[in-house]
Amino acid sequence: MNIYCPKCSWKPTSNSRWMCSPTGCGFVWNTFDTHGQCPNCFKQWRETQCLLCKQFSLHEDWYHDEEPVEKEQREETLIVG
């Protein structure tokens, strides 16, 4: 599973941090560690703002399966190799 912004493709690192605000408790954490739920007040965030392009997207849209071409190439390697 790859995690990246659906608008600009920026990939967060383990050090990336979001704040539970403006309607939350202000806690700071990596939203992808908890699938968008604040570990302090348990608010579930439906949208996540990209730290690079500043655009909001549905949190679920950040999660991407591997590209089909890459998966097919890997399967071919496993069969042939």
Q: What is the pLDDT of residues 20-79, one digit of tens each?
A: 999 899 999 999 999 999 999 999 999 999 999 999 999 999 999 976 554 455 444 455
Lowest-confidence segment of 3-7, 10-14, 59-63, 74-78 by average pLDDT: 74-78
**18 pLDDT above the threshold of 50:** yes
Residue 17 sits at the vertex; the CA angle it makes with 12 and 23, to the nearest 5 degrees, is: 125
Residue 15 pairs in a beta bridge with: none
Q: List phi, psi (to 5°) of 68.
A: -55, -35
Ordered by start, the domain boundaries in the chain are 2-80
pTM of the model: 0.77
Encoding tokens for residue 45? 């965030």
